[in-house]
Amino acid sequence: MNLEPGSVEHLSQLISHVVAPAFLLGAVGSFISLLHDRLLGVVGRVRDLGKGNDPEFSTEDRRKIIARLRRRAALLNVAIFFGLMSGFAALILIIAAFGAALMEIHHVWIAAVLFIAAAVFLLCAVVAFAIDVKMAFTGHDLH
């Protein structure tokens, strides 16, 4: 079905095409917020342990736990980076879809590539987050 560019029907179809990337963008925003909160908790734990006021741990134990927490913080930073990349890909997809419509260019392939990129970046973020969760539940840094 060919729609006349600039018509209400064409705009309606375009909006329906960008609904999935818009939902993905919202989910990515929430996920990044969760990662940020988790990172703040890890950094706070490093600060507390770094002060050395906790008599529960020896200096050597504290050093090991801090090193492990720093690895977790690095993983969370990676997850945040990939989450942001996913969000950027979704935003570029939305912009490209509207831009292509204005220039009367077919955007199916562009949209497909950008949506796949957004999903792959999100997958990378989730994998990094899963590794952090595994480290948190198998490590000695839960005390």
Checking if the pLDDT of 2 tops 90, the result is no
**Separation CA 43–CA 72 (nearest Å):** 10
Residue 82's pLDDT is 98
**Separation CA 90–CA 78 (nearest Å):** 18
Average pLDDT, the chain: 87
Q: Is residue 1 part of a domain?
A: no
For the ranges 28-32, 41-45, 126-130, 137-141, the lowest mean pLDDT is seen at 137-141
Checking if the pLDDT of 27 tops 60, the result is yes
Q: Is residue 143 part of a domain?
A: no
Q: Is residue 3 part of a domain?
A: no
For the segment 6-15, the average pLDDT, to the nearest whole number, is 72
Which residues are within 8 A (CB) of 13 and not within 5 positions of it... i.e. 6 or more apart? Answer: 3
Q: Is residue 113 part of a domain?
A: yes
Q: How many residues does the chain have?
A: 143
Residue 104's pLDDT is 78
Residue 53's pLDDT is 67
Q: Is residue 78 part of a domain?
A: yes
Residue 130's pLDDT is 96
Checking if the pLDDT of 142 tops 60, the result is no
pLDDT in tens, 41-80: 999 989 988 887 667 777 788 888 889 999 999 999 999 9
Residue 117's pLDDT is 97
Q: Is residue 96 part of a domain?
A: yes
Q: Is residue 4 part of a domain?
A: no
Q: Is residue 126 part of a domain?
A: yes
pLDDT in tens, 106-123: 778 888 999 999 999 999
**Tokens representing 106?**
């077919």
Q: Which domain holds residue 57?
A: 9-138
Predicted structure pTM score: 0.84
Overall domain count for the chain: 1
Helices (H) and strands (E) in the chain, counts: 4, 0
